[in-house]
Amino acid sequence: MQTKVRTEKMLIAGDWKYGRKSFQVTNPQNDQVIANVPAASAEDMIDAINQAEAAFHHLSSWPTHERISVLNRAADYMEDHHDIYAETIALEGSKTITEARGEVKRAVQTIRISAEEARRLKGETINFDQREGSENRTGYEYRFPIGVIGAITPFNDPLNLVAHKVGPALAAGNPVIVKPASMTPLSALLLAKAFIHAGVPKGFLSVVTGAGREIGEPLVTSDAVKMISFTGGLNAGEKIAHQAGLKRISMELGSNSPVIVLKDACLSEAVKASVSGAFAAAGQNCLGVQRIFVESPVYDDFVRSFVERTKELQIGDKMSEWTDMGPMINQKEAERVEAWVQEAVYEGAVIEAGGIRDGALFEPTVLTNVSHSSTIYKEEIFGPVVIIEPVKGLQEAVKFSNDVNYGLQAGIFTKNLDHAFYAIQHLHVGGVMVNDSSDYRIDEMPFGGVKGSGLGREGVRHAMNEMTEPKVVCFKITNMWGA
């Protein structure tokens, strides 16, 4: 079936505009063109920044009740157009239609949580009289918006990860400029339509589409942009950090997530959660399970069950209700994963399942006997490949888990509380999921990692803290009329 090609406009400070040039968005499953999208120029980005800065100064005290109303109306619009959002996510990206529906639901929740947290963005009183001589002072601190937020988002969650930047920014009273991934810009533009329908103040939201090499640097380096919120790869994150200068930076830079399975675990639950965590969204998930360390007495049983469940997955057409996993985002990425697997096999790894590529589709792949020096062991795979390795016990599993330059989340399966708390204390990660895989998140929780996994935390309330500044107010009270 031939998909009708859409012609889209980008949003610059409340106005829908074409660009002087355009680029094509394709469906990675069949390379069909699904949309023509503006390829913005540096001048377009500068225009969006200037108008956002002017809008912020004009409306520097945007009332909380208005922010709440805009956010809730946007969430209502998304719910009313749920099917359109889901179909767009599935067509332009790697998710199956079932996964896409789940992402829409989460994005709606993210925007609603943002509305709730706008109500709860509060300061606190300060006891100045704790210092001797300050008995006649009283005061408080409150949080105020910092200004224009630059948001750079990836392809793998093209709606919800945009919502995680736009929602908190607007809830805190900041204008936000989104530069979405060029492979998946349509979902971000749909989110913008929800906010325009909801009545977001002019200038407070822009979605500028195009190549990062053209419009990324003006966004990152502008003095008018007070914070960059970036989700993407480590190399790009390091480049942005060097370019940004003296401004706030929040970065989620990926992972190489471990899961530990101890001999007392419920193996069926560990297998079920870990297969899902490894292969959801074709493995293109920063929380995806990449390395599984299994205590030796149950290793063989775990591998056998894991491989059996992996081979049951239905792969193919993203738009089918029965498909568990579709293609990767493009053939180039699938070829990269294939090359990493072949390198690991050359170094002694064994393919227990999968390992076959067909265009952008790479079969769910299970590897054992992988060398710790292999690229696929040390770096983020970001594809449908998982490594399973036996360990002597918990301490060795934790040591191996920490032996990479990433630390986003980890999972551990055990019935022993002492073992669970040992892992909690000693795993160098931003989150530990007990009796679940690393691939678990709710949109309200603080989300981020250590080492090469990033800086700062997302999750609506925590992102809002990053996007606001505290201001201290102190009154010196003079009793003019006497005691």
Write the CA distances from 63 to 66, 138, 187, 201, 284, integer angstroms: 5, 26, 28, 11, 39
Give the DSSP H or E segment for 125: strand 124-126
Residue 416: exposure state from Cβ atoms within 10 A (0-12, 13-18, ≥19): middle
Catalytic residue among 53, 103, 286, 466: 286
Q: Which two tokens stand for residue 282?
A: 């074709």
Spatial separation of the C-alpha atoms in residues 20 and 41, rounded to whole Å? 8
Rg of the Cα atoms in the chain: 24
Outline where 330-384 has alpha helix (H).
331-346, 375-378
For residue 436, give Cα distances in angstroms to 214, 266, 307, 329: 41, 11, 18, 27
Query: Is 286 part of the annotated catalytic residue set?
Result: yes
Residues in the chain: 483
Q: Under 8 Å CB-to-CB from 383, ≥6 apart: which residues?
A: 282, 283, 284, 328, 333, 334, 336, 337, 362
Residue 474 is among the residues annotated as catalytic for this protein: no
Question: Count of CB atoms within 10 A of residue 333's CB?
Answer: 21
The residue from 252, 363, 389, 458 that is catalytic is: 252
Per-residue buried b or exposed e for 244-271, using 16+ beta carbons within 10 Å of the residue's own CB: beebbbbbbbbbbbbbbbbbebebeebb
* DSSP per-residue codes, 221-254: H-TTEEEEEEES-HHHHHHHHHHH-SSEEEEE--
Catalytic residue set: 252, 286
